[in-house]
Structure 1
Amino acid sequence: MTAHFPFDNSYATLPERFFTRQAPVPVADPRLIAVNTALANRLGLTLPKHEEAMSRLFAGNEVPDGATPLAQVYAGHQFGGWSPQLGDGRAVMLGEVVAPDGARFDIQLKGAGQTPYSRMGDGRAWLGPVLREYIISEAMAALGIPTTRALAAVETGEVVLREGRMPGAIFTRVASSHIRVGTFQFFAARQDIDALQALLDHTIARHYPEADSPFGLLDAVIGAQAKLIAEWMGVGFIHGVMNTDNMTLSGETIDYGPCAFMDVYHPEMVFSSIDQFGRYAYANQPQIGAWNLAQLATALLPLMPDREAAIESFTEAVNGFAGRFDTEWHRVLRGKLGLATEEDGDAALAFDLLNRMAQGGADFTQTFRALSSDTPGDAGKVFAAPAAFDPWMEDYRARLAREPRPADERVAAMQATNPALVPRNHRVEEAIQAAVAGDYAPFHRLNAALADPFTDRSEIEDLQRAPTEGERVKQTFCGT
């Protein structure tokens, strides 16, 4: 075939108990939905010129030269409950490519058929979750938030049975790696010290070459996750399923299942249909991040020669997550308020606004975008009762008066921080439903708009608008 991927498959050189060598299962009638040519160029890929050939490639019907297809094994805590073996139940990693700038990336097909880790599942994906991950992962990338990426999506020409008969699809995901907290947990639970050491060495070499020990790796991951979760919250993002198998060591967002962007702000907001008790609610995400990192610390303990000393140092590091997150969160909030300098009362000012937004039923994205203008008082119009906003605005004006930066520079910086457009739930669902009916125009239009989320454009006003009560999506679903 005419495709060329610059493969250099380091994970496949690890011991065989890290994975099962598994080719993608061919599908009946692959048809290309979308291919991310800009990302393909970034990775240094040469793609087939003809759509039919690209369809076969991204469906797994044809595997590019140099691939070493495999399904990774891992474990994890799911909603706090321990699962000793999970793994890629519907995904096959083709291999790793080294981009022209030297960066390394995994290329994985999701929905590529049954593996030994499918746990009675069919190993397939239906169209809805594939389009959802494509839209939201690329939107996150455009927002500047570390994330896995979407390289392609194809229809399979087959039916997948979920709530009913659904059209099948396959998603091609790109990641800095697919190493998860649950990957370390899998080997730690089996007391497989040799495998743990090999995984540690591989992860440090791949992601944190400055780390020289298990503690160094833990410290680096704590910092990466503190920054990531603060950035999620800065755009009103709720991951929805922060299980330990969904937390990467690289610090990238992964596994866009029942995730959502808030419309009306509330700290206890939950969308995921499987999160019945709000474990992964918006405001709980930092605490869950710390909980997951404690599980990583526990998995790394067997590699430490002095267990008691390691418990003490690891506990201190994990307990330090809260302070590191607060530092990142306050940085994000200052940026959203356009504050170039730092004062002791800045966090209180930001939290006062958030409290008023929750009480006043204010849209998260629209409130901060309205503040990012020459007339920030217009943000009061987003509130159901603008009078609840007015006292805060007086305090904000007083704070801005102490800023040395000119107003036009502040506005420009805020407009590059507070997006005009996020993938609102009702628009994502609208694109999925249209695609199921055979119309991909809303999907392509939404993707194109989300590629430039910080610019107001009259032609996409409908995509920026908050949902009416009848349009509001109150639950999101995992899709597996």
Structure 2
Amino acid sequence: MTLHIPFDNSYAALPDAFYTRLNPTPVRAADTLAWNDALAGELGISGQDAAVFAGNVVPDGAAPLAQLYAGHQFGNYNPQLGDGRAILLGEVVDVNGVRRDIQLKGSGPTPYSRMGDGRSWLGPVLREYVVSEAMHALGIPTTRALAAVATGEPVLREQGPLPGAVLTRVASSHLRVGTFQIFAHRGHIDELRTLTDYAIARHHPDADGPLGLLAAVCAAQAELVAAWMSVGFIHGVMNTDNCTISGETIDYGPCAFMDGYHEGRVYSSIDQQGRYAFGNQPRIAVWNMAQLATSLIQLFDDKDAAIEQATAIVHAMPEQVQAAWLRRYGAKIGLSDATAEDQPLIEDLLALMQAQGADFTNTFAALGTDTARDQFTDRDAFDTWQVRWRDRNPDMSVMAQANPQIIPRNHRIEAMIEAAVAGDMDPFQRLMTALAQPYDVAAAFDDLRRPPTDDEIVPATFCGT
């Protein structure tokens, strides 16, 4: 079947200041490794063509471009970033009426590459494919993976030459806090106003002006970070250029799902100070929203009044995160109506898990069964907690919908990548099948639920650039 993508582009209609128009760089030998047929159907895409999703052929109706943005990276402002290895092919309006971007990631250098080669190697492409689709199955807002295509070309990294690949990523948009920052810091107010109007119309049409947009994004990010916390997810690089206006998870670089629970858990190889540790994620989400507020304030003549209102919006966000956290963790222990009085019960369980190295996912999945206490070395301590918990009459059906039985564990992802590099895509396909039903995993995949043995532990994850 001939490939057809029903493009309906809007970002490309914005002024040239927002992007650079260019085509992807062709590759030597495009070969489809993975294709998301269900997502293609949602997007109205018929057929598939490796040459298109590798960047060798620009399809009819596309308007390829690299987006411009800036951002705070580990707290330090970088005045210009942009798509250094990605090309936005264009947009479609899906079967639900939602406008979505189609982007090629690893498609060659752009004016924003900053000495980089603009390419991706196979490992990060498959990691993002697996983890983003797992997040979708978990019900957490996320970018999606449409295709993974091998390039037939080596990519040079510190480990040496590695097989290259291109990921086709789908997002509600690729607007980031950093997109606003670059125009605010440059004093380009007309462009900032155009961007703000565009973001409101596309993502938060009920928002009343720039401060209404700020409030809507704060609410979306509060829900998102609470959702991450509820499944033990660590983003790993919560820079403002990786923080979306839509409230979707984006950029699965040095991300990870925890095995043993610990508030201070860090996997990212570049997070030397633990800025983006598991327990810090709510604070960083608020910090990122403060940077968005700083940008949007530039649109007001009366900046003192705008600062006062924006400050109140951002200062309200920790309470929003906490409310979302309590609702999600309450459900994890079977309480659909959790209140502040239940918070010590939740926190005491987490403290027990941290002190005894209990597996995050398997502990919550086992609550209410005879195997739950097996996650703990001091089982008497867990039994004491369990008596208090049962006094709250937990609802097992609520727990079943809140506690996944399976997550994409680091050691399984690494084993899958190693197999794929050797030419074996079967572990990838098996992992994708298992993760598609995370709350009701088939018995045939029980081995994928097992935490790593000591020699399987993956202590650090990498961004892949």
Q: Same fold by TM (over 0.5)?
A: yes
Aligned residue type for 1:256: Y
Task: Provide the secondary structure at the position in 1 that maps to 2:371.
Answer: helix
Task: Provide the secondary structure at the position in 2 that maps to 1:167.
Answer: strand
Alpha-carbon distance in structure 1 between the residues aligned to 2:11 and 2:184? 18
Shift of 1:436: 0.6
> Which residue of structure 2 lines up, in the alignment, with residue 474 of structure 1?
459
> Which residue of structure 2 lines up, in the alignment, with residue 51 of structure 1?
none
Instruction: Pick the aligned partner of 1:348 from 337, 344, 347.
Output: 344
Aligned residue type for 1:89: G
> Which residue of structure 2 lines up, in the alignment, with residue 465 of structure 1?
450
The equivalences for 1:160-179 within 5 A come to 160-163=155-158, 164-179=160-175
> Which residue of structure 1 lines up, in the alignment, with residue 253 of structure 2?
257
Shift of 1:102: 1.2
**Cα deviations across residues 446-477 of structure 1 (Å, max 9, x unaligned)?**
01110011114221111011111111111001
> Which residue of structure 1 lines up, in the alignment, with residue 32 of structure 2?
32
Aligned residue type for 2:218: I
Alignment check: 8 A CA contact 1:188 1:299 kept = yes
Instruction: Pick the aligned partner of 1:61 from 49, 56, 66.
Output: 56
Alignment check: 8 A CA contact 1:91 1:123 kept = yes
Alpha-carbon distance in structure 1 between the residues aligned to 2:333 and 2:293? 35
Aligned residue type for 1:478: C
TM-score (norm 1): 0.95
Task: Provide the secondary structure at the position in 1 that maps to 2:153.
Answer: strand
Alpha-carbon distance in structure 2 between the residues aligned to 1:342 and 1:167? 49
Aligned residue type for 1:24: P
Shift of 1:175: 0.1
Among all aligned residue pairs of Structure 1 and Structure 2, give the percentage whose two residues are the same amino acid. 60
Aligned residue type for 1:185: Q
Instruction: Pick the aligned partner of 1:396 from 377, 389, 398.
Output: 389
Shift of 1:223: 0.2
* Runs of at least 5 residues in structure 2 that lack an aligned partner in the other structure: none
Aligned residue type for 1:22: L
**Cα deviations across residues 69-113 of structure 1 (Å, max 9, x unaligned)?**
000000000000110000000000000001122110000000000
Shift of 1:275: 0.2
Task: Provide the secondary structure at the position in 2 that maps to 1:171.
Answer: strand
Alignment check: 8 A CA contact 1:33 1:153 kept = yes
Structure 1 residues 229-238 or 462-471, which shifts more? 462-471
Aligned residue type for 2:14: L
Shift of 1:413: 2.5
Aligned-residue Cα RMSD (Å) equals: 1.0
> Which residue of structure 1 lines up, in the alignment, with residue 131 of structure 2?
136
> Which residue of structure 2 lines up, in the alignment, with residue 381 of structure 1?
374
The equivalences for 1:204-219 within 5 A come to 204-219=200-215
The equivalences for 1:178-189 within 5 A come to 178-189=174-185
> Which residue of structure 1 lines up, in the alignment, with residue 402 of structure 2?
417
Shift of 1:188: 0.3
Task: Provide the secondary structure at the position in 2 that maps to 1:82.
Answer: strand
Alpha-carbon distance in structure 2 between the residues aligned to 1:88 and 1:317? 30
Alignment check: 8 A CA contact 1:214 1:304 kept = no
Residue 286 (str. 1) matches residue 289 (str. 2) = no
Alpha-carbon distance in structure 2 between the residues aligned to 1:107 and 1:445? 26
Alpha-carbon distance in structure 2 between the residues aligned to 1:331 and 1:95? 37
> Which residue of structure 2 lines up, in the alignment, with residue 110 of structure 1?
105
Aligned residue type for 2:5: F
Alpha-carbon distance in structure 2 between the residues aligned to 1:472 and 1:185? 38
Shift of 1:417: 1.3
> Which residue of structure 1 lines up, in the alignment, with residue 47 of structure 2?
47
Aligned residue type for 1:287: R
Residue 158 (str. 1) matches residue 143 (str. 2) = no
> Which residue of structure 2 lines up, in the alignment, with residue 146 of structure 1?
141
Shift of 1:141: 0.1
Structure 1 residues 66-75 or 340-349, which shifts more? 340-349
Alignment check: 8 A CA contact 2:334 2:397 kept = no
> Which residue of structure 1 lines up, in the alignment, with residue 314 of structure 2?
318
Shift of 1:344: 3.7
Aligned residue type for 2:293: A
The equivalences for 1:317-336 within 5 A come to 317-336=313-332
Alpha-carbon distance in structure 1 between the residues aligned to 2:339 and 2:152? 58
> Which residue of structure 2 lines up, in the alignment, with residue 407 of structure 1?
none
Alignment check: 8 A CA contact 2:181 2:292 kept = yes
> Which residue of structure 1 lines up, in the alignment, with residue 271 of structure 2?
275
Alpha-carbon distance in structure 1 between the residues aligned to 2:414 and 2:57? 31
> Which residue of structure 2 lines up, in the alignment, with residue 78 of structure 1?
73
Alpha-carbon distance in structure 1 between the residues aligned to 2:337 and 2:108? 53
> Which residue of structure 1 lines up, in the alignment, with residue 222 of structure 2?
226
**Cα deviations across residues 11-42 of structure 1 (Å, max 9, x unaligned)?**
00111010000101100001110000000001
**Cα deviations across residues 288-327 of structure 1 (Å, max 9, x unaligned)?**
0010000000000111221001111111111111001000
TM-score (norm 2): 0.98
Residues matched between the structures, number: 464
Alpha-carbon distance in structure 2 between the residues aligned to 1:297 and 1:344? 29
Alpha-carbon distance in structure 2 between the residues aligned to 1:424 and 1:316? 39
Alignment check: 8 A CA contact 1:180 1:244 kept = yes
Task: Provide the secondary structure at the position in 1 that maps to 2:402.
Answer: coil
Does the C-alpha gap of structure 1 residues 344 and 190 become closer, same or farther in structure 2, counting only changes over 3 Å?
closer
Alignment check: 8 A CA contact 1:239 1:280 kept = yes
Alignment check: 8 A CA contact 1:92 1:110 kept = yes
Structure 1 residues 97-106 or 425-434, which shifts more? 97-106
Alpha-carbon distance in structure 1 between the residues aligned to 2:51 and 2:430? 25
Task: Provide the secondary structure at the position in 2 that maps to 1:389.
Answer: helix
Alpha-carbon distance in structure 2 between the residues aligned to 1:231 and 1:87? 27
Alpha-carbon distance in structure 1 between the residues aligned to 2:76 and 2:409? 31
Task: Provide the secondary structure at the position in 1 that maps to 2:47.
Answer: coil
> Which residue of structure 2 lines up, in the alignment, with residue 364 of structure 1?
360
